[in-house]
């Protein structure tokens, strides 16, 4: 009952010419109506992306937590929504680390995204040191309790488990580690939000997802899709991941 979502995070890569990649991605989305496809380009490319492929779901990579204000350089969720973005990634580890975003800040951003009529894609994940210390599941459970708003609904919040050490490294956790962590996240969501809501919220896996490992990762229980960084930058690498999800 949880539809699979394949989401691409372009990070700070791409320009207008790069939007040509969206043609084959949109085609793959149309050809596989049983799953959801989302692309999150840099915010200045949201409107041009939609101009090129109006039928494709386009998201943002961050928003401010306030609706408006004297925050030079920032963009609110409502502004992104007005550009056509339907989703916004919040709490990506690159922002938690470099911009010192706390769980409380991530939660505030998701609330503002929901208030603007968007879906918040909330990222959680442990560092390599935390996993080595045997603390991964406790850390991630804490992030779920701290980062996911109590107002979350299955159509307003999606969680993405992204072990920090797996992002951009070519490394992925073992199948058993992913299975165990996604079960832990499911339990935390049910405990925080109640069984009905907690069991319907989608939990994506992110971190070095590729055409080569997508089928294996997407078949794991409680893995409801993928958040893909590098391999989302070209249709040649992203489309096979969409097809892998559709084949499950
Ligand atoms: P990656 O990035 O697929 O390049 O590892 C994933 C992410 O940061 O969302």
The domain limits of the chain are: 5-246
- Say if residues 53 and 86 touch (Cβ distance below 8 Å): no
Q: What atom of ligand 1 comes closest to residue 169's alpha carbon? A: 5
> What's the Rg (C-alpha) of the chain?
17
Are 149 and 111 a contacting pair, CB within 8 Å? yes
Please check the confidence at residue 163 and state whether its pLDDT lies above 90.
yes
Look at residue 1 in the predicted model and tell me its pLDDT: 81
Q: Is the confidence at residue 98, as pLDDT, over 90?
A: no
Mean pLDDT of 221-228: 98
pLDDT-above-90 percentage for the chain: 98
Mutate to test the pocket of ligand 1, among 163, 230, 231, 234 (most ligand atoms within 8 A of CB): 230
Band (177; pLDDT cuts 50, 70, 90)? very high
Check whether 90 has a pLDDT greater than 90. yes
Q: Output the pLDDT for position 106.
A: 98
* Residue 92 appears among annotated catalytic residues: yes
Q: Are strands 225-228 and 36-40 parallel, antiparallel or unpaired?
A: unpaired
> Whole-angstrom Cα distance, residue 12 to residue 98?
14
Residue range 186-198: mean pLDDT, rounded: 98
Q: How far is the CA of 92 from the centre of ligand 1 (A)?
A: 10
b/e 3-20 (16+ beta carbons within 10 angstroms → b):
ebbbbbbbbeebeeebbe
- Give the global pTM: 0.97
pLDDT for position 29: 98
Architecture of domain 5-246: Alpha-Beta Barrel (3.20)
Q: How confident is the model at residue 78 (pLDDT cuts 50, 70, 90)?
A: very high
Note the pLDDT tens digit of each residue in 108-154.
999 999 999 999 999 999 999 999 999 999 999 999 999 999 999 99
User: For residues 6 and 35, is the Cβ–Cβ distance under 8 A?
Assistant: yes
DSSP per-residue string spanning 169-186: TS----HHHHHHHHHHHH
d(CA 135, CA 27): 42
């Amino acid at each position: 009952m949880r539809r699979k979502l394949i989401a691409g995070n372009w990070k700070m890569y791409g320009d207008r010419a790069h939007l040509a990649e969206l043609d084959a991605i949109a085609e793959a989305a149309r050809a596989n109506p049983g799953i959801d496809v989302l692309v999150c380009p840099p915010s200045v490319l949201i409107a041009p992306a939609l101009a090129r492929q109006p039928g494709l779901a386009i998201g943002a990579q961050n928003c401010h937590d306030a609706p408006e204000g004297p925050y030079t350089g920032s963009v609110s969720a409502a502004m992104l929504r007005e550009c056509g973005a339907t989703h916004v990634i919040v709490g990506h580890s690159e922002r938690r680390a470099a911009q010192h975003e706390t769980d409380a800040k991530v939660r505030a951003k998701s609330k503002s995204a929901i208030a603007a009529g968007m879906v918040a894609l909330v990222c959680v994940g442990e560092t390599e040191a935390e996993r080595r210390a045997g603390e991964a599941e406790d850390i991630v459970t804490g992030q779920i309790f701290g980062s996911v708003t109590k107002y979350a609904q299955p159509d307003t919040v999606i969680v993405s488990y992204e072990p920090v050490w797996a992002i951009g490294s070519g490394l992925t956790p073992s199948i058993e580690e992913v299975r165990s962590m996604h079960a832990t996240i499911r339990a935390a969501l049910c405990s925080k939000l109640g069984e009905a809501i907690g069991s319907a919220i989608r939990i994506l896996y992110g971190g070095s997802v590729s055409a080569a490992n997508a089928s294996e990762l997407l078949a794991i229980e409680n893995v409801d899709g993928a958040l893909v960084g590098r391999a989302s930058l070209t249709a040649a690498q992203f489309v096979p991941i969409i097809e892998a999800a559709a084949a499950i």
